[in-house]
């Protein structure tokens, strides 16, 4: 497949460290959440949960920042919104474990990212956060698994970022070539 055939919203997505504190309109956040909900899921379980806050609620915003490891707090505190994705890990109809819960939640996040990109909003995901703190804060039972944290906002100028962090935004992070991960007929048999 030619790279230029890949949709612009897919190619243009990236995860900056320099995020702006500028307000993101609520209707855009709502559209991003709605886009997430269009994702496919095993048995149409739709196991994803999203909880978010914005810097308009300083107290809650700072609580969310505390979930993050220090290396993420440094830059994520400039975001406009912080989002946490979670997955319900049991099927609602029979209570059995749903081994696709995290997979489906990832697909929902992917939709959310695409919608955000269409609004020129950037989302920088973070695995670097305390699952335990999130569990405690939201009083999660063992049927809900925190998955990832996300910092969201328009692109910032990075003025209040340490130089070494800002430098990471200078180049887009490299990608494997399609031949490294897509194969035809036999695994590892080059497709293109
Ligand atoms: C599940 C997940 C966890 C991540 N955790 C972190 C993190 O804790 N801190 C960070 O700076 N970036 C984190 N990232 C961002 C990745 O480093 C980034 O997506 C990757 O390098 C590709 O760059 P791009 O998103 O700009 O294309 C995470 C991304 C994902 C999907």
Q: Label residue 144 by pLDDT band (50, 70, 90).
A: very high
What confidence tens digit (pLDDT) does each residue in 61-98 have?
999 999 999 999 999 999 999 999 999 999 999 999 99
What confidence tens digit (pLDDT) does each residue in 124-137 have?
999 999 999 999 99
Residue located nearest, by CA, to atom 29 of ligand 1 = 125
- Give the C-alpha separation, 34 to 48, whole Å: 12
What confidence tens digit (pLDDT) does each residue in 4-23 have?
899 999 999 999 999 999 99
- pTM reported for the whole predicted model: 0.97
Task: Name the nearest CA neighbour of 125 among 54, 181, 68, 63.
Answer: 68
Question: In percent, how much of the chain has pLDDT > 70?
Answer: 98
* Predicted pLDDT of residue 187: 98
Ligand 1 pocket: which of 112, 121, 126, 131 to mutate (most atoms <8 Å of CB)? 126
Please provide the average confidence, as pLDDT, over all residues in the chain: 97
Question: In percent, how much of the chain has pLDDT > 90?
Answer: 97
Q: What topology does CATH give the domain 28-156?
A: NADH Oxidase (3.40.109)
- As for ligand 1, residues whose beta carbon falls within 6 Å of it are 14-15, 72, 125-128, 148, 173
Q: Where are the domains of the chain?
A: 28-156
Residue located nearest, by CA, to atom 21 of ligand 1 = 173
Q: Does residue 1 register a pLDDT over 80?
A: no
* Predicted pLDDT of residue 3: 67
Ligand 1 pocket: which of 12, 14, 15, 79 to mutate (most atoms <8 Å of CB)? 15
Mean pLDDT within 178-191: 96
Antiparallel, parallel or unpaired: β 144-153 and 122-126 = antiparallel
Query: Residue 186 Cα, ligand 1 centroid: separation in angstroms?
Result: 30
Residue located nearest, by CA, to atom 15 of ligand 1 = 125
* Predicted pLDDT of residue 122: 98
What confidence tens digit (pLDDT) does each residue in 171-183 have?
999 999 999 999 9
């Amino acid at each position: 497949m030619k790279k230029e055939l890949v949709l612009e919203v897919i190619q243009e997505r990236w995860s900056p460290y320099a995020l702006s504190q500028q307000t993101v309109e609520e209707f855009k956040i709502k559209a991003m959440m709605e886009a997430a909900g269009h994702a496919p899921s095993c048995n149409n379980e739709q196991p994803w949960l999203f909880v978010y806050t914005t810097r308009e609620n300083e107290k809650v915003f700072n609580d969310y920042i505390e979930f993050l490891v220090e290396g993420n707090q440094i830059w994520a505190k400039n975001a406009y919104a912080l989002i946490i994705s979670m997955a319900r890990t049991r099927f609602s109809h029979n209570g059995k474990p749903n081994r696709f819960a995290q997979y489906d939640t990832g697909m929902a996040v992917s939709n959310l990212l695409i919608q955000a990109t269409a609004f020129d909003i950037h989302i920088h995901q973070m695995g670097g956060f305390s699952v335990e703190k999130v569990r405690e804060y939201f009083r999660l039972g063992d049927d809900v698994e925190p998955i990832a944290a996300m910092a969201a906002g328009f692109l910032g100028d990075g003025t209040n970022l340490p130089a070494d962090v800002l430098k990471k935004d200078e180049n887009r992070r490299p990608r494997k070539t399609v031949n490294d991960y897509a194969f035809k007929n036999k695994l590892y048999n080059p497709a293109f």
